[in-house]
Amino acid sequence: MAVFPGVKAALLTYAAHVLAVLAAGAVLVWSIYFRGGLAFEASNKSLIFNIHPVLMLIGFIIIGSEAIMSYKTLPWSHEVNKTIHLVLHAIALVLGAVGVYAAFKFHNESGIDNLYSLHSWIGIGTISLYGIQWIFGFVTFFFPGLSPALRRKSLPWHVLFGVFVYVLAIATAELGFLEKLTFLESSGLYKYSPEAFLVNFTALVVIFLGASVVLSAIAPANVDAPHGYTAVSEN
């Protein structure tokens, strides 16, 4: 799937790491400095909400990004990298589920309806598909593991579906930032305030992060290597 010849995946993964650090820093500054901090139990219910963007961005999207890039970034054997890939995806899934739970908890304790927005519908779809992708990946490539021929056949589908779900997660986060900022602005936040800029800036960084992760997955590990999924490992 070498649609990106001439650029080594490593270059894109460096960019992704820098963007991930920037995005993580920005969402923490937003939720702690501008929005008052994070708490699972609080009389100020907004602090419960704040856990949501932090876990969805750092826990779900950034750890999921590192999981996707693990085959290109890590120096170990295919077998070790595969274990790290599956463990990081599992951690992303669990933290993402806790993040979604925080949004529900905030709604329930504040008397706000659940699942009324496009963001929440696509969000539930994303986290469910992520779980399905994980189970299929696990059964196909890890335990019990399909025959080498079937693994070879399913790998392009695994990559395609994995990239699709990842892009869906990026899109969900974009909708989330937009929605939250719109709520804040309609309850008085100045549209050109530093906070409004920070939220839009974070959302922009997340788009660039998503783009570099997707391109790193479809770029060849080595520019000189034959392009495409020719040498699919047997394990």
201 binds ligand HEM (CB under 6 A): no
**Single residue of 23, 35, 95, 130 touching ligand HEM by CB under 6 A:** 130
71 binds ligand HEM (CB under 6 A): yes
Q: Count residues binding ligand HEM (CB under 6 A).
A: 50
Nearer to ligand HEM among residue 18 and residue 158 (C-beta): 158
Q: Spell out the SS3 assignment of the chain.
A: CCCCCCCCHHHHHHHHHHHHHHHHHHHHHHHHHHCCCCCCCCCCCHHHHHHHHHHHHHHHHHHHHHHHHHHHHCCCCHHHHHHHHHHHHHHHHHHHHHHHHHHHHHHHHHCCCCCCCHHHHHHHHHHHHHHHHHHHHHHHHCCCCCCHHHHHHHHHHHHHHHHHHHHHHHHHHHHHHHHHHHHHHHCCCCCCCHHHHHHHHHHHHHHHHHHHHHHHHHCCCCCCCCCCCCCCCCC
Question: Shortest gap between Cβ of 18 and ligand HEM (angstroms)?
Answer: 19
**Single residue of 23, 100, 205, 209 touching ligand HEM by CB under 6 A:** 100
159 binds ligand HEM (CB under 6 A): yes
Residues that bind ligand HEM (CB under 6 A): 52-53, 56-57, 60-61, 68, 71-72, 78, 82, 85-86, 89, 100, 103-104, 107, 114-115, 117, 119-120, 123-124, 126-127, 130, 133-134, 137-138, 141-142, 155, 158-159, 162-163, 165-166, 169, 172-173, 176-177, 179-180, 217, 233
